[in-house]
């Protein structure tokens, strides 16, 4: 809806509104850009973004919207795939302040929450009570209850537990006139009372509903035209078919779908006592209404006792998708919790993902499809009774060739792989993308094989398209994703043609065009075709009665704009950057396309409670602006629209990048491998080109020069800096936070010690193998004792150790965006080391962020002439623990070299290591001494990230990140527990945040060595 010109808000109206709400109102370009997309193909600049703090704020926003005839778009995590939260009105983000779990009632089996509660966090809260909220989405670690209700979400387990609607007991919130109401189950007499009060909008809604849904002609038309009731997941239009199935209309129908679990215990009791068997509840309509009818502020959900604890996943491998679909019909005859398809396109995508590559462990051969069937029981044996039966039946039917059943962590990893599917598809470089357009159709499961065959034949014949196929086979829903280039006029047309052809096939099977993702602005256009002209008019009538001014999420479900308008990409839009990059982005076909890899899946909005590294700044602030997605969207939009010769000369990009810690979390955890750390560095270099390099950045990048100078009089420097007033003053002058401690300058660098030492440690060279140590700048100048410990460790274990000539790693320049300097450094290191380091004599690193530069940045930085050499060298550069693990596996290093002193170690992993390698080697090598137990702190980033945490303006966020998991875990650890952290920044953060000194794993292992003579 566009505001009419006389009602259009003026800037003073906006200012007044901002003053009238306790929360935030943003009318500037940056926030509007960030909120102009979701996980769909759409993009439209909203007029404003509001982040309300209270119910009163929402009431004020509704009043404003009515007055100015402007839309309000309720939004939680913004992971919708049909453009539900994209529009020109005011986006109202309730994900920041409406996040409370208000009440849990286990006796009656319900929970009351605000809309911004994340589904998985709700279940983490409920678990100790022995309960859970069943519906799930693949996005369950960030999708919020408000959005799940809005979209009537469901997931793999819908086969057993239905969708959110089936568990929605009551909602409170606002009607479009600003009145506050609650909808819940009610008796016939209560319903009649409600219908009488026509002086309120609420009363008129009841009255209108009774009027229309009691009409037998209307009911017949709905029954005839709506999707088959046997389809459990159906999100086509408003759920009038379900709403009308209540006793209040006097003629309810006994459809399969309505005999389901959606009746509460009360209703069932009523049913038994002959009162109201099918109570009326507007919640049935609200669920799936996509914020177009009602603004929810409190949601009451049914919760269920936890499921049997043992989950077994049978992952049957097939030679074709058709075979898998036939097998689905066997699986669904059994008591299963889920039955999910993964096709070979997805399986291939997982090869390219650093994170999901590790989850392919169960795959045998080259299957064209895998059907994952979940069975639950009290024990593995109980599960196997059912899985064996299913496998026998499939084998008897000649279906499938491999039938592994996985439990526990292995099962979780298969789920991770399956859930990553949609996001991973965004991982295809270039302009052709798998687009969400027909990804959500659902049919009766018995129709599925024929339906899929027909869709595939049609797409192949009509358009020469092949589809990716995966997901909820057991519920009759396969996510189909064709690959289309929306940057061309033909692609844009194809987008519509494909949708239209498939809509016709869905209608033929009386299926649902949306099974779970909703109509939004993508499928609304086909609603008339899907439910017939009369029903479409009825749906529009409901919208008009509920929202006469059209302020609630206009243009979704009904009266939607044309489905191929307002797309992220427009034909003819700029697709190449106008400026030469320092990094080689050719693997992504340029930096712009690298930013375009973000499809909005929102994985970067997960929180510390669900784990992982990405994205620490969002985890701390819970502000959409600080998520990777916001950065990618801003980059993409500015690079495609800027008229400047240097488009990176942008304050907007600078602002959105400000809290990026360059932790690299996104590189492995973003399913589309959006590598924001690299893009930030590239941006900074070009921004500096236009605006000059700030003094502080220069100073940080010149770490080695400064340390060398200070190292000329270490005692004096350390003495001065130990005086708090001096330290605080120096920090202030340098732009650092006064509370930060400053590491001591070493009396002697590591290299100097190495070159001057008179004798090696006993054992050196005894196994005739050699290692080169990379004397990174942090070890060299600040913590030489760790380098010395590594020499002692390696030599005592029998290795010949060398310290080859090289320069610093360039990490400081990289982190500050001085990329051309970093390039020179990288080139020097590659030239100096490429002939020295060999497969048998690798280069091993102490500081993860330094040695991993060889593997991550150097090959893309050194230039074409050195690229191949850099790539080869990268394969020979190892973290010290990766090297030691290799030596353990080869039998050259054993526990015999270490003592038997009992030790308990808590390990915090460096982000770069977790992203580019793994913490597994650290955990293994730390347990080389036989009496040592090491466990991992479930921390993400420590928050320090090089100089980030020192910087005055970033100190607060840095500590906030540290306080999420790491610092409390360290404080809670026993005093005799050792804290291990390989990163110099991480150790510093732990020291500043807890006062405890963390050790490098090298120090712990060197301490545990048994002198050669004593073994």
Ligand X SMILES: Cc1cc2nc3c(=O)[nH]c(=O)nc-3n(C[C@H](O)[C@H](O)[C@H](O)COP(=O)(O)OP(=O)(O)OC[C@H]3O[C@@H](n4cnc5c(N)ncnc54)[C@H](O)[C@@H]3O)c2cc1C
Q: Which of 36, 137, 163, 601 binds ligand SF4 (CB under 6 A)?
A: 601
Task: Confirm or reject binding of residue 809 to ligand X (CB under 6 A).
Answer: no
Shortest Cβ 432–ligand SF4 spacing (Å): 17
Nearer to ligand X, 56 or 729 (CB): 56
Q: Which stretch binds ligand SF4 (CB under 6 A): 228-236, 484-492, 623-631, 972-980?
A: 623-631
CB 28 within 8 A of CB 90: no
Q: Report in angstroms the alpha-carbon separations of 265 from 104, 184, 245, 597.
A: 16, 14, 18, 47
Q: Which does 239 bind (CB under 5 to 8 A by kind): ligand SF4, ligand X, none?
A: none
Out of 145, 347, 632, 771, point to the residue binding ligand SF4 (CB under 6 A). Answer: 632
The alpha-helical segments, DSSP class H, found in 197-258 are 201-213, 216-225, 240-243
- Options 51, 62, 143, 862; binder of ligand X; rule CB under 6 A: 143
Q: Of ligand SF4, ligand X, none, which one does residue 917 interact with (CB within 5 to 8 Å by kind)?
A: none
Rule CB under 6 A: say whether 435 interacts with ligand SF4.
Answer: no
Q: Which of residues 373 and 672 has its CB atom nearest to ligand SF4 in the complex?
A: 672
CA distance 119 to 608: 14
Q: Does 629 bind ligand SF4 (CB under 6 A)?
A: yes
Q: Contact, 351 vs 358, CB < 8 A?
A: no
553 near ligand X, rule: CB under 6 A: yes
Contact status: 144 vs ligand X (CB under 6 A): yes
The one segment of 103-111, 290-298, 401-409, 892-900 that binds ligand X by CB under 6 A: 290-298
591 near ligand SF4, judged by CB under 6 A: no
151 touches, from ligand X, ligand SF4, none (C-beta below 5 to 8 Å by class): ligand X
String of contacts with ligand X for each residue 70-99, x by CB under 6 A: ---xxxxxxxxx--xx--------x-----
Beta-strand relationship, 90-93 and 843-845? unpaired
Indicate whether 155 belongs to the interface with ligand X (CB under 6 A): yes
- Shortest Cβ distance from residue 154 to ligand X (Å)? 5
Would you say 341 or 660 has its CB closer to ligand SF4? Answer: 660
Partners of 219 in the beta sheet?
A: none
* Of residues 174 and 955, the one with the C-beta less far from ligand X: 174
Alpha-carbon 170 to chain mean position: 29
Specify the residue for token string 């060298």: 873
Backbone angles phi, psi at 612, to 5 degrees: 100, 175
665 touches ligand SF4 (CB under 6 A): yes
Of 47, 60, 153, 262, the one binding ligand X (CB under 6 A) is: 153
Based on the shown chain and the rule CB under 6 A, indicate whether residue 664 belongs to the binding site for ligand SF4.
Answer: yes
Between CA 971 and CA 384 the distance in angstroms is: 44
Report d(CA 808, CA 779) in Å as an integer.
11
What is the chain's alpha carbon radius of gyration, rounded to the nearest angstrom?
30
Closest CB to ligand SF4 among residues 610, 718: 610
Partner from ligand SF4, ligand X, none binding residue 76, C-beta < 5-8 Å depending on class: ligand X
Q: Hey, which residues between 574 and 603 contact ligand X (CB under 6 A)?
A: 601
Choose between 171 and 964: whose C-beta lies nearer to ligand SF4. 964
Please give the residues from 374 up to 433 whose contact with ligand SF4 meets the rule CB under 6 A: 423, 426
33 interacts with ligand SF4 by CB under 6 A: no
The DSSP code for 76 is S
Residue 426 binding: pick among ligand X, ligand SF4, none (C-beta 5-8 Å cut-off by kind): ligand SF4
The secondary element (H helix, E strand) that includes residue 312 is: strand 310-318
Sheet holding 110-113, edge to edge: 101-105, 110-113, 295-302, 168-174, 180-184
> Which secondary-structure segment (H or E) carries 830?
helix 819-833
User: Token pair of 670, please?
Assistant: 């973003």
- Scanning residues 327 to 356, which ones bind ligand X (CB under 6 A)? none
What CA–CA distance (Å, rounded) separates 605 from 77? Answer: 8
Does 614 sit near ligand SF4 (CB under 6 A)? yes
Beta partners for residue 141, in sequence order: none
Nearest to residue 614, comparing CAs of 657, 683, 676, 658? 676
Instruction: Give the dihedral sign, CA 946/947/948/954.
Output: positive
400 makes contact, choosing from ligand X, ligand SF4, none, with CB < 5 to 8 Å by partner type, with none
**What is the C-alpha separation between 584 and 520, in angstroms, rounded?**
38
Nearer to ligand SF4 among residue 99 and residue 617 (C-beta): 617
* C-beta closer to ligand X: residue 281 or 581: 281
Rounded least distance, CB 146 to ligand X, Å:
3
**In whole angstroms, what is the distance from residue 456 CA to residue 462 CA?**
10
Out of 422, 620, 884, 1009, the only residue in the binding site for ligand X (CB under 6 A) is 422
Q: Which uninterrupted H or E stretch holds 467? A: strand 467-471
- Distance, CA of 164 to CA of 237 (rounded, Å): 16
CA-CA distance, 74 to 98, in Å (whole number)?
A: 12
Of 442, 455, 670, 944, the residue at the interface with ligand SF4 (CB under 6 A) is 670
The reply to whether 628 sits near ligand SF4 by the rule CB under 6 A is yes
Residue 676 touching ligand SF4 (CB under 6 A): yes
Question: What tokens appear for 563 in the block?
Answer: 């489905």
Sequence-distant (6+) residues with CB within 8 A of 828 are 806, 807
Give backbone dihedrals phi and psi of 977, rounded to 5 degrees, phi first. Answer: -80, 135
Q: How far is the CB of 964 from ligand X (least distance, A)?
A: 21
Rounded Cα distance, 810 and 705, in Å: 12
The rounded distance, in Å, linking the Cα atoms of 778 and 788 is: 13
Which residue, 100 or 224, is less far from ligand X as judged by CB? 100
Beta-carbon contacts of residue 544 (< 8 Å; ≥ 6 apart): none
User: What does the alpha-carbon distance between residue 720 and residue 764 come to, in Å, rounded to a whole number?
Assistant: 40
Least Cα distance to 359 among 732, 690, 370 occurs for 370
Q: How far is the CB of 540 from ligand X (least distance, A)?
A: 17
Let me know: does 243 contact 213? Beta carbons within 8 Å. Answer: yes
Q: Of 662, 812, 829, 985, which lies in the binding site for ligand SF4, with binding defined by CB under 6 A?
A: 662
Task: Report, in Å, the least distance between residue 383 CB and ligand X.
Answer: 23
Identify the residue among 186, 244, 296, 657 touching ligand X (CB under 6 A). Answer: 296
Between CA 300 and CA 103 the distance in angstroms is 9
Strands (E), 8-106: 24-26, 48-51, 72-75, 90-93, 101-105
The option from ligand X, ligand SF4, none interacting with 598 (CB < 5 to 8 A, set by class) reads: ligand SF4
Helix, coil or strand: residue 261: coil
In the region spanning residues 512 to 541, those forming contacts with ligand X, defined by CB under 6 A, are 516-517
Give the nearest distance from C-beta 163 to ligand SF4 in angstroms. 24
Nearer to ligand SF4, 680 or 903 (CB): 680
Question: Exposed, middle or buried: residue 299 (CB in 10 Å: 0-12, 13-18, 19+)?
Answer: buried
- Pick from 70, 494, 663, 893 the residue near ligand SF4 by CB under 6 A: 663
Stretch in the footprint of ligand SF4 (CB under 6 A) among 545-553, 626-634, 714-722, 786-794: 626-634
Is there binding between residue 134 and ligand X (CB under 6 A)? no
> Residue with structure tokens 């034949």?
457
CB of 92 to ligand X, least distance (A): 8
Q: Which residues make beta-bridge pairs with 644?
A: none
Closer CB to ligand X, 151 or 650, in the complex: 151
Q: Which of 554, 616, 787, 1001 touches ligand SF4 by CB under 6 A?
A: 616
Segment holding 111, helix H or strand E: strand 110-113
Binding residues (CB under 6 A) for ligand X: these are: 38-39, 73-81, 84-85, 94, 115, 137-139, 143-144, 146-148, 150-151, 153-155, 290-291, 294-296, 422-423, 516-517, 553, 601
Residues in the site for ligand SF4, rule: CB under 6 A? 423, 426, 598-604, 614-617, 628-629, 631-632, 660-666, 670, 672, 674, 676-677
């Amino acid at each position: 809806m566009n505001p009419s010109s006389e009602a259009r808000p003026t800037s003073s109206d906006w200012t007044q509104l901002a003053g009238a709400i306790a929360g935030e109102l943003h009318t500037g370009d940056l926030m509007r850009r960030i909120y102009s997309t979701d996980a769909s193909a759409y993009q439209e600049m909203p007029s404003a973004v509001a982040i309300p703090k209270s119910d009163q704020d929402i009431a004020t926003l509704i009043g404003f919207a009515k007055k100015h005839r402007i839309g309000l778009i309720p939004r939680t995590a913004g992971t919708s795939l049909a453009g539900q939260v994209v529009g020109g009105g005011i986006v109202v983000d309730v994900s920041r302040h409406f996040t409370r779990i208000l009440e849990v009632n286990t006796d009656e089996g319900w929970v009351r929450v605000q809309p911004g509660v994340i589904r998985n966090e709700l279940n983490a809260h409920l678990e100790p009570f022995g309960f859970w909220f069943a519906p799930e989405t693949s996005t369950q670690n960030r999708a919020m209850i408000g959005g799940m209700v809005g979209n009537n979400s469901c997931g793999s387990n819908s086969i057993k537990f239905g969708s959110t609607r089936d568990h929605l007991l009551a909602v409170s919130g606002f009607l479009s006139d600003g009145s506050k109401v609650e909808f819940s189950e009610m008796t016939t007499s209560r319903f009649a009372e409600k219908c009488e009060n026509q002086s309120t909008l609420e009363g008129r809604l009841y009255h209108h509903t009774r009027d229309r849904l009691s009409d037998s002609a209307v009911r017949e038309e709905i029954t005839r035209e709506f999707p088959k009731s046997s389809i459990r997941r159906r999100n086509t239009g408003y759920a009038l078919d379900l709403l009308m199935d209540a006793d209040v209309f006097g003629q309810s129908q006994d459809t399969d779908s309505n005999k389901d679990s959606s009746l509460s215990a009360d209703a069932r009791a009523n049913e038994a006592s002959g009162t109201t068997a099918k109570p009326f509840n507007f919640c049935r309509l609200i669920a799936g209404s996509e914020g177009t009818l009602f603004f929810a502020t409190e949601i009451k959900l049914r919760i269920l006792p936890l499921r049997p604890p043992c989950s077994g996943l049978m992952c049957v491998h097939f030679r074709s998708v058709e075979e898998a679909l036939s097998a689905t019909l066997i699986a669904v005859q059994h008591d299963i919790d889920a039955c999910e398809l993964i096709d070979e396109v997805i399986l291939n995508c997982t090869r390219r993902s650093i994170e999901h590559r590790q989850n392919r462990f169960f795959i045998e051969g080259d299957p064209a499809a895998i059907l994952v069937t979940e069975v639950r029981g009290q024990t593995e044996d109980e599960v196997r009774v059912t899985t064996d039966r299913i496998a026998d039946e499939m084998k008897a039917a000649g279906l499938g060739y491999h039938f592994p059943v996985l439990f526990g962590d292995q099962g979780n990893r298969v789920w991770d792989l399956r859930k990553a599917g949609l996001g991973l598809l965004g991982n295809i470089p270039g302009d052709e993308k798998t687009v969400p357009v027909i990804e959500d159709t659902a049919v009766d499961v018995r129709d599925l094989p024929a339906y899929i065959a027909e869709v595939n034949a049609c797409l192949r014949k009509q358009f020469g398209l092949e589809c990716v196929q995966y997901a909820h086979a057991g519920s009759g829903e396969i996510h189909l994703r064709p690959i289309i280039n929306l940057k061309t006029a033909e692609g844009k047309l194809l987008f519509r043609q494909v949708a239209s052809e498939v809509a016709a096939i869905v209608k033929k099977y009386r299926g649902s065009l949306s099974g779970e993702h909703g109509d939004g602005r993508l499928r609304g256009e086909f609603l008339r075709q899907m439910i017939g002209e009369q029903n479409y008019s009825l749906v529009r009538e409901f919208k008009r009665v509920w929202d006469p001014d059209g302020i609630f999420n206009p243009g979704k479900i009904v009266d939607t704009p044309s489905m191929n308008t307002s797309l992220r990409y427009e034909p003819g839009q700029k697709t190449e950057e106008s400026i030469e990059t320092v990094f080689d982005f050719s693997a992504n076909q340029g930096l712009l396309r690298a930013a375009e890899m973000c499809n909005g899946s929102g994985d970067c909005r997960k929180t510390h409670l669900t784990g992982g590294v990405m994205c620490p700044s969002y985890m701390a602030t819970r502000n959409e602006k600080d998520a990777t997605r916001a950065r990618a969207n801003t980059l993409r939009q500015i690079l495609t629209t800027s008229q400047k010769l240097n488009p990176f000369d942008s304050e907007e990009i600078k602002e959105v990048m400000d809290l990026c810690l360059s932790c690299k979390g996104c590189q492995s955890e973003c399913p589309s491998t959006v590598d924001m750390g690299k893009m930030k560095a590239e941006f900074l270099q070009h921004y500096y080109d236009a605006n000059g390099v700030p003094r502080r950045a220069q100073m940080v990048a010149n770490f080695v020069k400064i340390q060398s100078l200070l190292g000329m009089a270490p005692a004096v420097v350390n003495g001065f800096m130990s005086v708090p007033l001096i330290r605080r003053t120096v920090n202030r002058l340098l732009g650092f936070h006064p509370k930060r401690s400053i590491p001591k300058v070493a009396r002697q660098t590591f290299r100097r010690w190495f070159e001057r030492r008179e004798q090696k440690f006993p054992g050196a060279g005894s196994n005739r193998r050699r290692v080169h140590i990379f004397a990174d700048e942090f070890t060299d100048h600040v913590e030489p004792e760790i380098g010395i410990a590594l020499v002692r460790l390696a030599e005592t274990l029998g290795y010949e150790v060398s310290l080859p000539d090289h320069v610093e790693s360039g990490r400081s320049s990289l982190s500050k965006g001085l990329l051309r300097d970093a390039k020179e450094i990288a080139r020097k290191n590659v030239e100096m080391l490429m002939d020295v380091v060999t497969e048998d004599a690798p280069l091993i690193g102490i500081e993860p962020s330094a040695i991993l530069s060889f593997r991550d940045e150097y090959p893309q930085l050194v230039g074409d002439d050195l690229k191949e050499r850099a790539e080869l060298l990268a394969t020979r550069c190892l973290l010290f623990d990766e090297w030691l693990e290799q030596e353990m596996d080869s039998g050259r290093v054993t526990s015999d070299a270490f003592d038997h002193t009992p030790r308990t170690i808590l390990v915090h992993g460096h982000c770069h290591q977790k992203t580019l390698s793994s913490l597994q080697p650290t955990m293994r090598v730390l347990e080389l001494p036989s009496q040592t137990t090491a466990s991992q702190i479930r921390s993400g980033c420590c928050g320090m990230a090089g100089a980030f945490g020192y910087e005055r303006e970033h100190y607060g966020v840095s500590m906030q990140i540290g306080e999420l998991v790491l610092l409390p875990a360290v404080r809670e650890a026993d005093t005799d527990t050792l804290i291990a952290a390989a990163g110099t920044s991480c150790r510093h953060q732990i020291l500043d945040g807890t006062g405890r000194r963390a050790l490098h794993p090298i120090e712990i292992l060197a301490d545990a060595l048994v002198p050669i003579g004593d073994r």
